[in-house]
Amino acid sequence: SQQGEEDPQALSIQEGENATMNCSYKTSINNLQWYRQNSGRGLVHLILIRSNEREKHSGRLRVTLDTSKKSSSLLITASRAADTASYFCATDLNDYKLSFGAGTTVTVRA
Amino acid sequence: DTEVTQTPKHLVMGMTNKKSLKCEQHMGHRAMYWYKQKAKKPPELMFVYSYEKLSINESVPSRFSPECPNSSLLNLHLHALQPEDSALYLCASSQGGWADNTGELFFGEGSRLTVL
C-alpha cells in the first residue's frame, strides 16, 4: 500500500534554481527516506532521516521532517541538468515495510 | 563492490514462456527484495527474503515464483504471465535482515519485462 503522497507531481526549473518537493504520510514512522530515479533506471538512495531528527543535509540536499504534521520536504539547491529525475519519499510502516510515495518528476532546464 | 546486478536488462516473452530474472549482490547484505514498477508509478513490493528465507509475499500471483539459492543470489521465475505483468522489475538489498532495520535499500538497474 502507498503511504506517502508527494507534492508537486511535476516540477520544472531553470539550472541553478532550487527545487523543493514535499511528502506527506499517514501513520507513525521510524524513518523516512528519499530516493532518486533517472528515467528507466534503478532507484538511488539519497538520504535517510529518523523520526527523532528534524533536519538533515547531504551535499546540495536538505531534508526536513515534521512528525507532528506527518510531512517531509526535500530541497535541492543550485540544481543541475543531472538532477533531472523522479524523486520518491519512502516511509517504513510499523511492520518494517518500505512504502514509496507517488513521486515528483523534476526537470532541470539548461 | 556496492552494486546490485540484474540480468537480463530487457526480456520479451510470450504468455506461454518460462523465463527467469536474476539478481546478485556481493555486499554481504542479508535481505533481498523484488519490486515491480509500472510506468510513472512508484515501486511496489512483491517479495522479501531475509537470511535466505522468504519473509514477505505481498499476495503476488503464483505465476511469479521467487527463489533465493544463497545469500548473494535472488531469482524470480516467470511462467504463464499476462500482458499486464509488463513492467520494470527491480531487485534491491539491505544490510540487515528484514526486521533488523529499515535502512537504505540498494537497487539494481532493473529488468524491463514485456509480455506479448
Calpha distance B51→B46 (Å, rounded): 17
Q: Among A42-46, B16-20, B59-63, B103-107, whose mean pLDDT is lowest? A: B103-107
| pLDDT digits 0-9 by tens, A47-77 | 999 999 999 999 999 999 999 999 999 999 9
Check if A2 contacts B (Cβ < 8 Å): yes
The whole-angstrom distance between A35's CA and the closest CA on chain B is 9
Assigned C-alpha cell, B12 = 520479451
Candidates B42, B108, B109; nearest CB to A100: B42
Assigned C-alpha cell, A26 = 499517514
- Residue whose grid cell is 521465475: B77
Q: In sequence order, what are the residues at sequence separation of 6 or more whose Cβ sits closer than 8 angstroms to the Cβ of residue B85? A: B63, B64, B78, B113, B115
pLDDT at A94: 57
Calpha distance B33→B49 (Å, rounded): 6
| pLDDT digits 0-9 by tens, B6-24 | 999 999 999 999 999 999 9
**Residues 3-22 (B) with a CB less than 8 A from some CB of A:** 4, 6
Please give the interface size between A and B, counted as residue pairs whose CB atoms are below 8 Å apart: 50
pLDDT at B100: 62
Q: How confident is the model at residue B102 (pLDDT cuts 50, 70, 90)?
A: low
Check if B88 contacts A (Cβ < 8 Å): yes
Q: Residue A90 pLDDT > 80, yes or no?
A: yes
Contacts of A101 in chain B (CB under 8 A): 42
Calpha distance B31→B74 (Å, rounded): 10
Assigned C-alpha cell, B34 = 523484488
Q: Is A40 left (phi over 0), alpha (psi -120 to 50) or beta?
A: left
Calpha distance B55→B97 (Å, rounded): 10
Task: Tell me the average pLDDT of chain B.
Answer: 92
Assigned C-alpha cell, A63 = 531534508
